[in-house]
Amino acid sequence: MAIWKRGCLAATVALVLVALGLWVVLGGGRLQTDGEITSTPLGPEMVAARDTGQRSVSSESDTRILFGDLHVHSTLSVDAYQWSLPLMGGEGVHPPADACDFARFCSQLDFYSLTDHAEALTARTWEMVRESVRQCNAVDAESEQPDLVAFSGFEWTQIGTTPETHYGHRNVIFKDTADENLPARPIAAPGLASQAFRDTKTIRRNLGIPFRAFPEQQPYVDVGAHVREIARLSLCPEGTVAPDLPANCREFADTPETLFRKLGEWGFDAMVIPHGTTWGFYTPEGYVYDKQLAAKHDDPQWQQLVEVFSGHGNSEEYRDFRAVERTPEGPACPGPTDTYEPCCWRAGEIVRSRCENPLSEECDQRVEQARRNYSRLGVSGHLTLPGTDIAEWGNCGQCTDCFQPSYGYRPGGSVQYILSRGSFESGETPRHTTLGFIASSDNHSARPGTGYKEYERRKMTEARGAIDERWREIIFGMPDETEESVPLTPEEVLSMRPFQRVWLERQASFFLTGGLVAVHAEERTRDAIWQALYDREVYGTSGDRILLWFDLINAGEERVPMGSQLDFEGTPKFRVRAAGAFEQLPGCPDGVTQTLGADRIERVCAGECYHPSDRRRRMTRIEVVRIRRQMKENEPVGELIEDPWLTIPCPSDAEVCEVEFDDPWFASADREVVYYVRAIQEPSPAVNADALRCEQGKCEPCYGDYRVPFDDDCLSMTEERAWSSPIYLD
């Protein structure tokens, strides 16, 4: 009996010690809270300098151009939180307060919006976002022309597994900031993103990570607490209008139509902005935007704008290629062209390179099987060839002749395709969408407007990766290379970790510092900014603060600015004026350094600020794009897009590039025609501008992990640019 008692005591002590050890390593997860916003506004002389810089190149009749970023995540977004972890080379959490300080002092924007993923926000964190925005605005609330205007918003993150069920991502921005003018909860999208952001299976699967990181385990335990908080949120009951639902529940909208309806139930001023329409990172192969051109998914009351460029790349240009061919038997692999190689085709070529006799019938069969396996799996097709080095895939899946294209380009979602294609649901007369162009950053470390300087690739973009080979194996797995393609089912892929399902390591080569939205506003106020956005008198830039005016000048006494839609007869005549961005000085202005202090500048600004010199970069040319809107459903879209329709060089010795052009053909067009311009700036270096860095069939990807030195910003020369909103003539 004594032996038995001693055994029980020893077992009890052992269990207590094990429990204590588990608590020490896995317990005490902390929920994210907001930081503290600096209570001093930007110096008025610095705000005034923005206007002074514009007056030197603008006319008295010009509206004021204000720059902003309407696509910004804090680490309340789960993907942002994961990228902030030490094993990914992250800096730790960046709460909403950091976005305010960054926009005000680091990038010195005129406005910004927080757009954390709705699928990751709870009642507590949604309140944190709203209150942080209010505090940011309160810093300069006494001014009639505040130094910074902050908006509340969220991202509706919809991902379908097939082209038919995929609608993509949209940012929802609200005009006002008081609680009585904002919904009680964000509106999420069901599907893969929502499942991933609430995936407690991944947390259980990764329980070993804190032990491997001990005694530096706290960030990983905190992420677990964050995901559990999200997963505990109950689903809202169905069949109840949004304002009558409990505040603390998860509300879903499965389509844009449902999202618009729910926003209408609240009745607040809001905008819905599609983005990432060509991103192949998550968009199913074979996807086209067609179904979203129907009136129910394209309500102009809510949807006035589209994001043409971001830190995830360019979504402007249309091409005729497709990643797969849709057949009655299922997806098939198309052959390559001179400028595009489908990744399913490349999978076959990789297998061929491993055949003992590459020209044999047996090898041909293995190659065809590899292409079928890849095509069936879509965005996760790389998993069918485990252990393959990224460089072996070359430039497959990419738009090799596009400007800084998004990864795995889906041209059927490009902005040019969206504007040219018609919806024929209501009969023979097509319906077309009318959208203004913006750009933003899609930054995931609470840094609005990161493109002012090209530096710190791993902080100013989303390029992340394991800090060493040990952590890379833990995160992604390191399977041995196989000579044969491995057939996988979608169900098998869904059982894998989220970072394994998507090709995050290859995507790192395509992350950019991001773009800006510019508005032509009457004054620096919330109302004026909102009105300019709603009127589509906006444009986007690839990050530099290029000044751009684009007007129709022969439609009456008043100018007709970019974003306008009107009936017109005769020969339209247009005027374009553009001025390059100011070259940057190193460091930060003295006023910013004195206000923020060296530690906060290093932590939030990554050591550098917007610091303009008095020299502007030179504009080299204006490119005019003309799009004839589709009138018959069988008209090939590619033949309707003329890009460029006209190229006009800029004077080499002028500070402002001013050109005029007309189009006599329009008088006989007998259809709606769309005109927009690109203002191109002289070449300058930019982060990841050359993406996979391919030459003569060999590529050197710019990894986000230890395989590229952490001080290598992967700079290449590029031509920064601005995209005007179109002018729509009928």
Q: Do 339 and 412 lie in a common domain?
A: no
Could you tell me the pLDDT band of residue 9, with boundaries at 50, 70 and 90?
low
The residue among 328 and 176 whose pLDDT is bigger is: 176
pLDDT of 18 reads 41
Residues in the chain: 730
Name the β-bridge partners of 72: 114, 443
Could you tell me the pLDDT band of residue 3, with boundaries at 50, 70 and 90?
low
Write down the residue that tokens 């954390």 correspond to.
Answer: 116
Q: 107-111, 195-199, 597-601: which range is least confident on average?
A: 195-199
- CA pair distance 643, 627, nearest whole angstrom: 8
Q: 18-32, 240-254, 330-344: which range is least confident on average?
A: 18-32
pLDDT of 277 reads 97
Q: Per residue in 541-580, pLDDT tens?
A: 999 999 999 999 999 878 899 999 999 999 999 999 999 9
Q: Per residue in 507-522, pLDDT tens?
A: 999 999 999 999 999 9
Q: Do 578 and 553 lie in a common domain?
A: yes
pLDDT of 201 reads 65
pLDDT of 489 reads 85
Q: Does residue 647 lie in a domain region?
A: yes
Q: Does residue 1 lie in a domain region?
A: no
Q: Do 354 and 487 lie in a common domain?
A: yes
Q: Does residue 227 lie in a domain region?
A: yes
Domain count, the chain: 2
Q: Do 379 and 425 lie in a common domain?
A: no
Q: Does residue 374 lie in a domain region?
A: yes
Taking the alpha carbons of 2, 6, 8, 12 in that order, is the dihedral positive or negative? positive
pLDDT of 22 reads 45
Strands 727-729 and 565-566, sheet pairing = parallel
**Element holding 112 (H helix, E strand):** strand 111-114
Q: Does residue 23 lie in a domain region?
A: no
Mean per-residue pLDDT over the chain, rounded: 92
pLDDT of 269 reads 97
Which residue spans within 280-370 are E strands per DSSP? Answer: 305-310, 313-314, 325-327, 330-332
**Residue 498 confidence (pLDDT) above 50:** yes
3-state secondary structure of 205: helix
Q: Does the N-terminal peptide bond of residue 644 adopt cis geometry, omega within 30 degrees of 0? A: yes
pTM: 0.94
Q: Does residue 38 lie in a domain region?
A: no
Q: Which residue range forms the structural domain that includes residue 611?
A: 44-57+65-322+397-463+511-729
Q: Do 368 and 347 lie in a common domain?
A: yes
Q: Do 197 and 169 lie in a common domain?
A: yes
Q: Do 416 and 522 lie in a common domain?
A: yes
Taking the alpha carbons of 59, 61, 67, 69 in that order, is the dihedral positive or negative? negative
Q: Does residue 39 lie in a domain region?
A: no
Q: Do 313 and 332 lie in a common domain?
A: no
pLDDT of 13 reads 47
Name the β-bridge partners of 273: 171
Q: Does residue 17 lie in a domain region?
A: no
Q: Per residue in 56-84, pLDDT tens?
A: 888 766 789 999 999 999 999 999 999 99
Q: Do 388 and 279 lie in a common domain?
A: no
Query: Which has the closest alpha carbon to 165: 43, 44, 292, 272?
Result: 292
Q: Do 304 and 352 lie in a common domain?
A: no
**Residue 493 confidence (pLDDT) above 90:** no
DSSP string, 623-691: EEEEEEPP-STTS-GGGTEEEEEEEEEPPTT-SEEEEEEE-GGGGG--S-EEEEEEEEEPPEEEETTTT
Q: Per residue in 641-688, pLDDT tens?
A: 999 999 999 999 889 999 999 999 999 988 999 999 999 999 999 999
Q: Do 355 and 286 lie in a common domain?
A: no
pLDDT of 20 reads 38
- CA pair distance 273, 517, nearest whole angstrom: 12
Q: Do 524 and 536 lie in a common domain?
A: yes
**Residue 8 confidence (pLDDT) above 90:** no
Name the β-bridge partners of 187: 251
